Structure 1
C-alpha cells in the first residue's frame, strides 16, 4: 500500500523548502515551520544577529536542547512509573 504523501513548501528564514510528507503529518510540519519562524523572529528581536543562517542555527540549538530536556524528563517519568509498578507488584505478591 502506498503512503498518502503530498508535496508542500515551507518558508523558513526567507527561504522555501520543498518537502514530500505523509498527508497525516502535514499539519505538524507546517506548525513546526511556524514555530521555527517565531523563534527566529524572537532571536532577531533580542540579539544583534541579522544573518538568517545564524538565526536558524541558534533556533536549531534551542530546539535540540528542549528536545533533550524533554527526553530526560520522559526518562525520569519512566523510572518513576517503573518504581510504582514494581511497588504494586510487590504489594500484590505480599497479599497472595
Structure 2
C-alpha cells in the first residue's frame, strides 16, 4: 500500500508527512489542530515572545496528559486486581 503524502501546518510552518491510511491522516490533522489551538491560547494568555517556548509548553502539556492517563490506568488496574483477589477469596471461603 502506498503512503499518503500530506502537509501539516503547525505554528505557521508546513511539514510534509507520509501516513499509512486515512485514519492516520485524520489523527495527524486533529493533533495539528489541537497544537495550533494550544499555541494560540498560550500566546494570548502569556507574554511569550519565542515560538520555541510556546512549542515546549505545548509539548509539556500533551506529554503530561499522557503520563497522567498512564498513571491513572495503572492505579485502576491495581484496584481492579485487588478487588478480584478479594472476591476470589470470598468465593473460596464460601466453597470450603
Paired residue for 1:67?
Answer: 66
Q: Distance in 2 between matches of 1:91 and 1:26?
A: 50
Residue deviations 1:61-96, cap 9 Å, x none? 111111111111111111111112212222222232
Paired residue for 2:80?
Answer: 81
Paired residue for 1:20?
Answer: 18
Paired residue for 1:53?
Answer: 52
- Structure 2: where are the runs of 5+ without partners? none
* TM-score, reference length from structure 2: 0.86
- Structure 1: where are the runs of 5+ without partners? none
Residue deviations 1:5-35, cap 9 Å, x none? 3121110001111111221222111111111
Moved over 6 A (4+): none
Larger Rg: 2
- What CA RMSD, in Å, does the superposition of the two structures yield over aligned residues? 1.5
* TM-score, reference length from structure 1: 0.86
Q: Report the alpha carbon displacement of residue 49 of structure 1 after superposing the two structures with TM.
A: 0.8
Residue correspondences, number: 94
- SS for the counterpart of 1:10 is strand
